[in-house]
Chain A
Amino acid sequence: MAYSEKVKEIYLSQLEEIKDSGIFKEERFIHSSQAADIEVEFPSGSSLKQVINMCANNYLGLSSHPEVVKAAHEGLDSRGYGMSSVRFICGTQDIHRDLEKKMTEFLGTEDTILFPSCMDANAGVFEAVLTNEDVMISDRLVHASIIDGIRLCSAEHDTFKHSNMEHLERKLQLHKDKRLKVVITDGVFSMDGDTAKLDEMVALCEKYDAMIFLDDSHASGFIGKTGMGTHEKYGVVGKIDIITTTFGKALGGASGGCVSGRKEIVEMCRQKARPYLFSNTIAPVVISGVLRVMDILSKSTERRDKLEKNAKYWRNGLAEAGFILKEGNTPIVPIMLFNAKLSQDVSNDLYEEGIYAVGFFFPVVPKGQARIRTQISAGHEIHHLDKALDAFIKVGKKYEILGRTKQEIIDMYGL
């Protein structure tokens, strides 16, 4: 069919609807490397503005680390730019296997398989290891990529209330006759910054003979005493059957992901996972960078320790100033504003003050739970956090929300 006026009209009206509902997304162009201080062109065509980045997943501040950049250069020189093949034809280099081994060791699992992204890992893993005789039971707040993976899988699907262990147990009882049962959760929930109760979940899975799946994308490299992830924090290393994670956040921030876990499950992915079979894997230049990231992390916990300190400092500062925060103990610190427009207005005013922090509202988060989500990095220094805090307080005063209760803010701005 030709791209007729009628077709064009259909798309234009859909785009209008997106704009009218206030969720039209616009990119902000960054003219510098990813770091705590960045130069941003926004709106498109405007002059560059120096701002402090408070919304990157650059938790360990390694995205532009000189050693990582150097390793990537060396990888480019020694292993070339592209593979021009999928893994199982002629697209696997020694360094791909090296990284798989390193991740297995780092995560405390049995084996690992790389994917072009964690989105691909989540999209491919369920279909590769489950059939219509099985059931997937997922937390209601799992990441969108897991939801896509669940949709692609023929196993039955059910959900449990966020982090509600009683509800999970009822669901495990309900599905006890299924051949295989998999409980699915994020390690750190990216919108709220809370962690899954993995110790309780593992106990329930053992009781009901279920496997457990963990997406630790917002945890790998910094949660837990040595940064292994949420499973280390809750003392269940070796008990998680499937872990997916990304190299696009703390672990260098470029791209790529993996499935790590039980040997047989990883092998099933190697035989059946479609994003692994039908797409080139991570480019050698990125693999070389991630290998250096893993070296840096194996030598010292300095960066994750600094991140923990920074996150505490930031959370305490905001709380003392009188903002309402989502409870949590991760570098994701959501400032609750409840009203969608207020979250947009506050974000815009912060940008004027040189602070880049984005507002989130329905449908990304539940209705009436609009917020500014801030993400702390080991790349932040105290002076960055102090400047950001001053800006938040200034904007908070303008909107008269400091020290207010949830109900008072809702009364002032509506839901």
Chain B
Amino acid sequence: MDEMQKSIREYVEEEYLEEDDDEVDVDTPLISGGIVDSFSMVSLKRFLENKYNISIPDDKATPEAFDTVNKICSLVREFL
């Protein structure tokens, strides 16, 4: 797991998981798996934009693009 995967995974766990939830890995479906609801994606998008100093256009910030840690990393790399 690289640095980006690690810090995004940490943020997801801290921000979205409840105490009795299992840990997530880089391919765990977050939105389609019901861990992150699409409405709460807003804070994830803001975290990515602040952390990596990028701007993700709304049409790219789709539930599909945010569905796993790996997909989020690919999205972030597009804008780095």
Which of B16, B18, B42 makes the CB contact (< 8 A) with A157? B42
Binary per-residue interface labels of chain B (21-56) against chain A in the complex, 1 for a CB within 8 Å, 0 otherwise: 000000000000110010110110000000000000
- Residue in A closest to B46 when the chains form the complex, CB atoms: A158
Chain A residue contacts of B40, Cβ below 8 A: 140, 159
Q: How far is B74's CA from A249's CA once the two chains are assembled, in angstroms?
A: 47
Q: How far is B43's CA from A161's CA once the two chains are assembled, in angstroms?
A: 12
Binary per-residue interface labels of chain A (363-377) against chain B in the complex, 1 for a CB within 8 Å, 0 otherwise: 100111000000000
Q: How far is B33's CA from A53's CA once the two chains are assembled, in angstroms?
A: 33
A362 CB-CB contact with B under 8 Å: yes
Q: How far is B40's CA from A140's CA once the two chains are assembled, in angstroms?
A: 8
Q: How far is B37's CA from A366's CA once the two chains are assembled, in angstroms?
A: 9
CB distance from B43 to the nearest CB of A (A): 6
Chain A residue contacts of B33, Cβ below 8 A: 367
**B42–A158 touching, CB < 8 Å:** yes
Chain B residue contacts of A366, Cβ below 8 A: 34
A147 CB-CB contact with B under 8 Å: yes
CB distance from B47 to the nearest CB of A (A): 10
| Total count of chain B residues near the partner, CB < 8 A | 9
**A140–B42 touching, CB < 8 Å:** no
Q: How far is B37's CA from A161's CA once the two chains are assembled, in angstroms?
A: 12
CB distance from A122 to the nearest CB of B (A): 14
- Residue in B closest to A363 when the chains form the complex, CB atoms: B34
Chain B residue contacts of A363, Cβ below 8 A: 34
Q: Which of B1-28 contact A (CB under 8 A)?
A: 16, 18
Which of A158, A162, A367, A368 makes the CB contact (< 8 A) with B43? A158
Q: How far is B63's CA from A363's CA once the two chains are assembled, in angstroms?
A: 15
- Residue in B closest to A406 when the chains form the complex, CB atoms: B20
Q: How far is B34's CA from A366's CA once the two chains are assembled, in angstroms?
A: 6
Q: How far is B13's CA from A161's CA once the two chains are assembled, in angstroms?
A: 12
Which of A140, A157, A158, A368 makes the CB contact (< 8 A) with B37? A140
**A161–B42 touching, CB < 8 Å:** no
**B39–A161 touching, CB < 8 Å:** no
Q: How far is B43's CA from A123's CA once the two chains are assembled, in angstroms?
A: 22
Which of A159, A162, A362, A367 makes the CB contact (< 8 A) with B39? A159
**B34–A159 touching, CB < 8 Å:** no
Chain A residue contacts of B18, Cβ below 8 A: 161-162
Chain B residue contacts of A157, Cβ below 8 A: 42
- Residue in B closest to A147 when the chains form the complex, CB atoms: B39
Q: How far is B50's CA from A96's CA once the two chains are assembled, in angstroms?
A: 49
Q: How far is B15's CA from A162's CA once the two chains are assembled, in angstroms?
A: 11
Indicate whether A367 sits within 8 Å of B37 (C-beta atoms), given known contacts A158-B42, A159-B43, A161-B18.
no
CB distance from A144 to the nearest CB of B (A): 10
Q: How far is B20's CA from A368's CA once the two chains are assembled, in angstroms?
A: 13
- Residue in A closest to B20 when the chains form the complex, CB atoms: A406
**B42–A367 touching, CB < 8 Å:** no
Chain A residue contacts of B16, Cβ below 8 A: 161
Chain A residue contacts of B39, Cβ below 8 A: 147, 159
Q: How far is B20's CA from A269's CA once the two chains are assembled, in angstroms?
A: 41
Q: How far is B39's CA from A362's CA once the two chains are assembled, in angstroms?
A: 15
Q: Which of A210-264 contact B (CB under 8 A)?
A: none
Which of A161, A162, A367 makes the CB contact (< 8 A) with B34? A367
Q: Which of A312-364 contact B (CB under 8 A)?
A: 362-363
- Residue in A closest to B17 when the chains form the complex, CB atoms: A161
CB distance from A153 to the nearest CB of B (A): 13
Binary per-residue interface labels of chain A (36-79) against chain B in the complex, 1 for a CB within 8 Å, 0 otherwise: 00000000000000000000000000000000000000000000
Q: How far is B37's CA from A159's CA once the two chains are assembled, in angstroms?
A: 11
Chain A residue contacts of B37, Cβ below 8 A: 140
Q: How far is B33's CA from A334's CA once the two chains are assembled, in angstroms?
A: 22
Q: How far is B37's CA from A363's CA once the two chains are assembled, in angstroms?
A: 10
Chain B residue contacts of A158, Cβ below 8 A: 42-43
**B34–A362 touching, CB < 8 Å:** yes
New A-B contacts (17) at CB < 8 Å, excluding given A158-B42, A363-B34: A140-B37, A140-B40, A147-B39, A157-B42, A158-B43, A159-B39, A159-B40, A159-B42, A159-B43, A161-B16, A161-B18, A162-B18, A362-B34, A366-B34, A367-B33, A367-B34, A368-B34
The 7 closest A-B pairs by CB, nearest first: A367-B34, A159-B40, A366-B34, A158-B43, A362-B34, A157-B42, A147-B39
> Can you sample 8 A-B contacts with CB below 8 Å?
A147-B39, A158-B43, A159-B40, A159-B42, A161-B16, A162-B18, A363-B34, A366-B34
